[in-house]
Amino acid sequence: MSCCITRRKLLSLAGTTLGAGVFLPNLWIRAQSPGPNSAGAVVGEPTAAKVGGEILARGGNAVDAAVAAALAAGVAAPHQCGPGGYGGHMTIAMAGKKVTSIDFNSRAPAAMREDTGLVNGRLNPHGWLAAGVPGTMAGLQLALDRFGTLDFRAIAGPAIRIADEGIRVSNRNWKAFMEELGVVSASSAGELFRNPELAEMLRTLADRNSVDSFYRGDIAGQIAAAFQKHDGLVTKRDLAQYRAREVAPLVLKWRGHEIFTAPLTAGGLTVLEALSVLKALKWQERRAGAGRTHAYLETLRLAWNDRLNLLGDPEHAEVPAERLLSQAYARELADRVNRAVEQGKPVSATGTARGDDGTVHLSAGDRHGNLAALTLTHGNAFGARVIIDGLGLVLGHGMSRFHAGTGHPNSPGPGKRPLHNMCPTIVKRDGQPLLALGGAGGRRIPNALIAVLSRFVGLGATARQAVAAPRMHSEGNMDVRVDAQWPVGEVDSLRAPGYRVSRASVAKASAVFFDADTKACLPLSR
């Protein structure tokens, strides 16, 4: 007999026993890469991509489609993102206009201090102190207001329908999920997951045609009351003061292309720093093989060394962003890479690994040549693993993304935005937007984009070839992960300098390529 596993029951269980690698299984499916679509395309989380395609078919533009898809993803993939998620970033290229970015990262509440949330010297990723002001809804509304053609009421409809009707989960993953919790037998597979409280909240916002009351109104009051009840820090004032904002993207020119990506506190600076070093190395002119691979790895390690030691919220810390993206610094790092390759040794760099799997990336394009790259997250699976009763909101754990310790650029503090890894990116050629790109997979995201862009721009590969190409991951230490496609001989060559190389999963990249000649969009994902 079929029944419904409710949101409250599921999340109350998940809050105590759910591991970071366990997901609600509803749509953990490899996205497909169909042929070009003349109406446009959305790629990413499957249910969300389908919703985005419906919006395009109704005449909406790429931003309308991306926002509708993001709302749908928050219902269909509540382990990865949602209206209570800590936030993200969106990079937008409207045909004939400047590329821009929407920053909707979480902000720390006014009561946040450098030692807030520390447990045995580490920031606790779970609980109410791990959650800051949710930025997702404000960011989606701002993008829609400035660049969309449809209103929030029209955009929210598909997400409301999904929350009301439910998502039927896949049998295999549902079994694994519920066995991990140890609460029901495998015979319960195939049930519906519904979130009626979230549906009602979204319906209320749609009736009002705005998310304003999420931050400054009755819904904000419910959110603040929940934080107060559970000894969290976010207040009505923190919510009322929160604003998503439009910001200028970072940009790098290389081989006739312009690469636009999200600025701090997003991960785009690390992407462009690494690409700048590859450019200074004339990496694309090197013969394929062990030497070029070694140079690529050392470039990643140096960029990550800077990321983990120097970066944070530039409004609250001294961050040498301009220097890190300068040609002089790129040449300095390129010299270090060349010496390392010549000597067969690693450069001096440090890093600490951390896994994250609570993110969705969506790329969208329309027949007019508008492109949008949107990444949003809870952080790890189910974020802070707390929920606001009555609203169906799972909260992200953005505060756990700060550095645990004092005096670091990314240390916690009132009003600060934590450093995050999302880096939605747009590529132009001859002034024409042609690629919207991003990734999902926590700290693996910047390296995935470096892999795609170094091949698409640096080596002149097609968009399809670049997305399909092998990827490598390093966070600055001696541990290196490569995916199954990386050549065996090159993997073995990296062990000689002392690297601990393993075959492991890398971030998932999703892209839309716009063909200016045919006006068709090609969705790509791997």
Which residues are catalytic, by number?
A: 359
Beta carbons of 430 and 95 less than 8 angstroms apart? no
The Cα 399–Cα 113 span in angstroms is 11
Q: Extract the tokens encoding 192.
A: 């519906």
Beta carbons of 508 and 440 less than 8 angstroms apart? yes
How many degrees, rounded to 5, is the angle at CA 412 between CA 409 and CA 415? 100
Which of 134, 85, 88 has the alpha carbon at shortest distance from 109?
A: 134
DSSP state of 458: I
The Cα 189–Cα 3 span in angstroms is 10
Which of 141, 54, 49 has the alpha carbon at shortest distance from 102?
A: 141
How many degrees, rounded to 5, is the angle at CA 202 between CA 13 and CA 140? 100
Burial of 447 (0-12, 13-18, 19+ CB in 10 A): buried
The Cα 152–Cα 470 span in angstroms is 39
Q: What residues have CB less than 8 Å from 60, skipping those under 6 apart?
A: 68, 148, 149, 150, 366
Q: What residues have CB less than 8 Å from 480, skipping those under 6 apart?
A: 297, 472, 473, 474, 494, 499, 500, 501, 502
Q: Extract the tokens encoding 223.
A: 């959110």
In order, the DSSP letters of 420-443 are -----EEEEETTEEEEEEEEESTT
